């Protein structure tokens, strides 16, 4: 299938690691020019900007710098996010300061990116955005309640944006990964493991395999590349009639039936 994105300019936030890095690679394979935004300059072979997405002035400057370098951006993939790093149940275990930092990054980071990309794409009447949420955003996950709540906010705000921007031909969708081996996923295990008595602790692999085996119909982890395939499809002209949707790439973990 020809995705027809050769020569398009794309921004990938959180592109230095995990799922974002896989999206950078696949967009490049498909012929797009990519700018990777992350806290540190990426070592990938692409345009790269160091930016904290929680800071609106940095996001505005990154957009200007990217468009000056690449030209008009018509694809945005927003993957940057954090977990609280705390054991999530009961939710009162989580210090209030962790809630506010997480919401600054996971919710306001999305809002900041939306405020630069939305008007620019809307004025040019061309663009596609994909926000990476999570299955945790749909099920009230006890593992990390602030993370779960922030990911629900991502889904909801992406729907608001999709409605706002549809008249100008800009599409907005959300992809929800299930379980993917990345530093963020590992940090969730670490917070859990730190609370367990030494003799009951599982390794990261054992913890993940047990969770996947118990909860996921297809019975396996997802890879960063599994997520990237759906993301890049949604960015492409092949998905031109898809907007405002929440697509789970999770081995069937979340099913509405
Ligand atoms: N790994 C999973 O199992 C899983 C499951 C569901 C959803 N997700 C989502 O997928 C997305 C990517 O996560 P990942 O698992 O690849 O994690 P990751 O930790 O590998 O990558 C996240 C990237 O975001 C960057 N980042 C964090 N805070 C930032 C900030 N303030 N400004 C700029 N960049 C920042 C990090 O530096 C990192 O490179 C996230 O939105 C996450 O919520 C992951």
Q: How confident is the model over 16-42, as pLDDT tens digits?
A: 999 999 999 999 999 999 999 999 987
Enter the tokens of residue 140. Answer: 């009230």
Residue 192 covered by a domain = no
Which atom of ligand 1 lies at the shortest distance from residue 136's CA?
6
Residue pair 253/215 in contact by the 8 Å Cβ criterion? yes
Q: How many other CB atoms are found less than 10 A from the CB of residue 230?
A: 20
Give the pocket of ligand 1 (CB within 6 Å). Answer: 14, 16-20, 38-39, 51-54, 79-82, 105, 109, 132, 134, 177, 179-180, 182-185
Judge whether 254 lies within some domain: no
Q: How far apart are CA 43 and CA 13, in angstroms?
A: 14
177 CA: nearest ligand 1 atom? 6
Nearest CA to ligand 1 atom 25: 14
Full residue range of the structural domain in which residue 59 is found: 9-179+223-249
Q: Whose CA is nearest to atom 29 of ligand 1?
A: 80
For the cut 70, the answer to whether the pLDDT of residue 189 exceeds it is yes
Q: Is residue 197 part of a domain?
A: no
φ and ψ at residue 167, rounded to 5 degrees: -65, -25
* Mean pLDDT along residues 171-185: 97
Q: Is 6 left (phi over 0), alpha (psi -120 to 50) or beta?
A: beta
pTM more than 0.95: yes
CB 207 within 8 A of CB 226: no
| Location of structure tokens 């706002």 | 164
* 86 within a domain of the structure (yes/no): yes
Please state, in angstroms and rounded to a whole number, the distance separating the CA atoms of residues 129 and 243. Answer: 9
What's the structural domain count of the chain?
1
Establish if 98 belongs to a structural domain.
Answer: yes
pLDDT in tens, 131-140: 999 999 999 9
Over residues 53-58, mean pLDDT: 98
> For position 123, what pLDDT does the model report?
98
Q: Is residue 156, in this structure, part of any structural domain at all? A: yes
CATH code assigned at 127: 3.40.50.720
Structural domain contains residue 191: no
Minimum-distance ligand 1 atom for the alpha carbon of 53? 32
**Ligand 1 center–CA 140 separation, angstroms:** 19
Out of 13, 19, 40, 176, give the residue to mutate to test ligand 1, the one with the largest number of ligand atoms within 8 Å of its CB: 19
Q: Distance between CA atoms of 58 and 28, rounded to whole angstroms?
A: 25
Task: Give the DSSP letter of residue 93.
Answer: G
The verdict on residue 193 lying in a domain is no
Strand order in the sheet with 33-38: 47-50, 33-38, 9-13, 75-78, 127-132, 170-177, 246-249
């Amino acid at each position: 299938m020809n995705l027809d994105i050769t020569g398009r300019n794309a921004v990938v936030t959180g592109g230095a690691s995990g799922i974002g890095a896989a999206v950078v690679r696949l967009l490049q394979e498909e012929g797009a020019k990519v700018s990777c935004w992350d806290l540190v300059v990426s070592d990938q072979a692409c345009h790269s900007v160091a930016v904290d997405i929680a800071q609106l002035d940095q996001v505005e400057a990154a957009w200007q710098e990217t468009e000056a370098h690449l030209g008009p951006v018509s694809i945005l993939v927003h993957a940057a996010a954090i977990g609280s790093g705390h054991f999530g149940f009961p939710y009162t275990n989580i210090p209030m300061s962790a809630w506010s930092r997480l919401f600054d990054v996971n919710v306001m980071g999305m809002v900041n990116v939306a405020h630069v990309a939305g008007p620019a794409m809307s004025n040019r009447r061309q663009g596609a955005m994909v926000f990476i949420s999570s299955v945790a955003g749909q099920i009230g996950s006890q593992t990390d309640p602030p993370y779960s709540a922030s990911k629900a906010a991502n889904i909801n705000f992406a729907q608001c944006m999709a409605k706002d921007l549809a008249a100008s031909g800009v599409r907005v969708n959300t992809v929800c990964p299930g379980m993917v081996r990345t530093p963020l996923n590992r940090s969730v295990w670490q917070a859990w493991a730190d609370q367990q008595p030494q003799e009951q602790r599982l390794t990261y692999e054992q913890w993940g395999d047990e969770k996947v085996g118990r909860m996921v119909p297809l019975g396996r982890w997802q890879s960063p590349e599994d997520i990237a395939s759906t993301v890049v499809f949604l960015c492409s002209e092949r998905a031109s009639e898809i907007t405002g949707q929440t697509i789970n790439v999770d081995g069937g973990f979340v099913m509405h039936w």
